[in-house]
Structure 1
Amino acid sequence: GGGESHCPRDASYKDGTLQVDLMGMDGVIGVQETEEGWLALVEPRVTMQTLVRATLPYGLMPPVVPEFRHITVGGAIAGIAGESGSFRHGFFHDAIAGMEVVLGDGNIVTATADNEFSDLFFALPGSYGTLGIITAVTIRLVAAKPFVAMSYEHFDDVLEFALHLANGEKREDLDFLEGIGFSSSSLVACEGRMVDTESAQSGIFGDVRRLN
């Protein structure tokens, strides 16, 4: 946000354009329980690392947390972001309950899925800042545990690998699922579930990492 990017693309195409400085909009405004469940209200330049560190003390986390810790909330919406929780929860923006947006005419509106600005709410993800400037975001949160137990399963057949990943949505024991393909005959399914203790291992789940 604010003209900054992690994209390796040459940024000279922005020369001569008007850029809005959002560098100071990097605060977590609050985390609270509501009738709709637990919500976090944050500014657009809050990074995933900052967001998770603010929610974990409550035993909560966003449903989808992009792996790159310096991706911002605004960037994850404007550019669309997914991660290993996406097989269950969709993209990062699918957990958004509302957004405060500055429009091109200077008006400030709040867009939600069911108010008069619902068309803007659904159009903003993937719009790369062309429809307005996001200045605040309300995010739905889900329960978290301190550790993630991981397992890795190797495949040498693409179809078998794809079917395994497709069936992952039906498995209630999984919280995280993603696949890595090194070649058509070397593919790995990465599976994770949240656990309470570092020693809470069972079955094929062996590698336990702290969630932070």
Structure 2
Amino acid sequence: MDTHRSAVATISDRVKHFYSTKTAFRVYHGSTNSTRHADFDPSTIVDVSALNNILSISPSTLTATVEPNVPMHVLVRETTKVGLLPPVVMEFPAITVGGGFIGTAGESSSFKHGFFDRTVVEAEVVLANGDVVNASEKGGHEEKGLFEGLRGSFGTLGVLTCVKMRLVEMRRFVQVSYLPVTSFEHAVQTLQEETKRGEADYVDGVLFAKDSGAIVTGRLTDKTPSSILPLRRFSRPWDEWFWVHAKSLVSKAVMTTELVPVDDYLFRYDRGAFWMGMYAYKHFMVPFTRLTRFLLDYFMHTRIMYHALHASGYTDQYIIQDIALPAPNTEAFVQWVHEKLGLYPLWLCPLRNDGRSSMGHPQEFGGAVGGKVDGVYEGEYINVGVWGPCPSSQTEYLRTNRELEDKVRELGGLKWLYGRVFYTEDEWWQIYDKTTYNSLRQKYNATSLPTIWDKVKDRVEANDAESGLTGLLKRKMKRNGLLSGLYGIYKAVRGGDYILKQKKA
């Protein structure tokens, strides 16, 4: 704890300096799972990338005290040593505890435990004036108000330095069942039935086509693998990708059940980044076979893929959006995606009814739900993951994303803000609660920090604005799909930082 306190004191001093000089600053974590264009100036950042330690794990209280830059795979590795698990584990190993708390992070257990921030019971924060405070869900009015405000605040109320979070007892395996579905309506209906049945610890779904999909349920268990319950793994290079395996089972048109080691289940989408890796094979004209997936496994993990995505500029060519929709409006949205975009697979993930308050301080939704208006909607949500190429001109790309945002607003949905945002500022504040949010920022001296809108609004990529021969070459390379892809791979393998700006000599 002494090392932690020293690090927090250093951060506090730097924040106080920026506050006294009225200098706007941003918090630098060292990595990102966002697809937005972003870069950081080293002279105006608060670097928290070294806050990556687990301070304690308590089996007696079922809690862990964790610094914000601890990634999911490290947290899971350490908690499982004492027979415990985080209730909500984001599917990519490098997603961090801090990102899950102040961002928006849901997974297949979120129908039961809520978003990741709902598993946090206490937070330590350096406010924008440098004060170090603790806030908890059970604190007094002031303390609880700050704690609630931190959800989905994206670092705009202060610098998160530590959280205390709940844990649950683990089991060796997840008993995974694949339920075939044959339509959008069937998929949504089955998803809701399985969440209400009360038997599953995990529920999500994948749509492979309009008439083909799988709802996948999981239960923690200590059962032993057998001929009836075969063992299935997804983490080794020779294992099949999860969604490819699920698709093969759906073709049998009967429910299939397997035992999957806990770690393999929790990070089942890491290899291939769900199915985004499939598009890399198509882009480089490499056959998408089990052999090539084995041979190229190193490049197909999310850590490498996110680095390559940013370096290549492909965020300008792909729709990468997660949307939480009122459950009764989900079918209408998926039908729109089918007709307008034709993108498959699609991911479905049920969410608890308190999820909206964790998504960037939105206003309540009182529009049409299930075809009728009936006050403010307070029911469950379903996350739809829409990820795939948008092969068109930049004008068409922007128009398509704008149409998607219009449809999301019409149906009462909210976007995960890791994705690119194309709203105008006026549109943004029609969705998000400017009055309440700004009052929180004033109360906690955070008006010198960027707002959420400042952080997520779409920007021209730095390379596009760069002048001279270097800028020209980068723009030409970006427009050449093969060259930009190779450049992305080169940068990912080489490593280094792809977020911080390089200081000019």
Q: Given the two structures, how large is their TM-score scaled by the length of structure 1?
A: 0.90
- Whether the 8 Å contact between 1:156 and 1:185 is mirrored in structure 2 is yes
Structure 2 stretches lacking a partner, 5+ long: 1-27, 230-254, 264-505
1:184, CA displacement in angstroms?
2.5
**CA–CA distance in 1 between the matches of 2:197 and 2:168?**
18
Residue number among 77, 92, 95 corresponding to 1:71 in the alignment: 95
Residues 1:85 and 2:109 aligned together: yes
Residue number among 200, 208, 211 corresponding to 2:259 in the alignment: 208
Residues 1:8 and 2:32 aligned together: no
- Whether the 8 Å contact between 2:30 and 2:49 is mirrored in structure 1 is no
Aligned amino acid, residue 216 of structure 2: C
Count of residues in Structure 1 that have an aligned counterpart in Structure 2: 208
Residue number among 49, 54, 63 corresponding to 1:23 in the alignment: 49
Counterpart mapping for 1:147-162 below 5 A: 147-162=173-188
- Whether the 8 Å contact between 1:99 and 1:138 is mirrored in structure 2 is yes
**CA–CA distance in 2 between the matches of 1:41 and 1:194?**
24
Q: Deviations over 1:46-97 (max 9, x none)?
A: 0111111111122111111001011000011121101011111110111111
Distance 1:205 1:88, change over 3 A: farther
Counterpart mapping for 1:95-174 below 5 A: 95-115=119-139, 116-174=142-200
Q: Given the two structures, how large is their TM-score scaled by the length of structure 2?
A: 0.39
Where 1:66 maps in the other structure, the secondary structure is coil
- Whether the 8 Å contact between 1:3 and 1:20 is mirrored in structure 2 is no
- Whether the 8 Å contact between 2:52 and 2:67 is mirrored in structure 1 is yes
- Whether the 8 Å contact between 1:179 and 1:188 is mirrored in structure 2 is yes
Task: Please say which of residues 158-167 and 1-10 is displaced more in the overlay.
Answer: 1-10
Counterpart mapping for 1:13-52 below 5 A: 14-15=40-41, 18-33=44-59, 37-52=61-76
**CA–CA distance in 1 between the matches of 2:166 and 2:256?**
28
More strand by share: 1
Task: Please say which of residues 109-118 and 43-52 is displaced more in the overlay.
Answer: 109-118
Q: Which residue of 1 aligns with 2:401?
A: none
**CA–CA distance in 2 between the matches of 1:128 and 1:17?**
20
**CA–CA distance in 1 between the matches of 2:258 and 2:189?**
24
- Whether the 8 Å contact between 1:62 and 1:140 is mirrored in structure 2 is yes
Residue number among 210, 221, 236 corresponding to 1:184 in the alignment: 210
**CA–CA distance in 1 between the matches of 2:59 and 2:157?**
30
What is the percentage of aligned positions where both structures have the same residue?
37
**CA–CA distance in 1 between the matches of 2:261 and 2:196?**
25
Aligned amino acid, residue 209 of structure 1: V
More helix by share: 2
**CA–CA distance in 2 between the matches of 1:136 and 1:190?**
34
Where 2:175 maps in the other structure, the secondary structure is strand
**CA–CA distance in 2 between the matches of 1:55 and 1:4?**
23
Aligned amino acid, residue 261 of structure 2: R
Task: Please say which of residues 159-168 and 92-101 is displaced more in the overlay.
Answer: 159-168
Larger radius of gyration, structure 1 or 2?
Answer: 2
Where 2:47 maps in the other structure, the secondary structure is coil
Where 1:122 maps in the other structure, the secondary structure is helix
Where 2:62 maps in the other structure, the secondary structure is strand
RMSD: 1.9
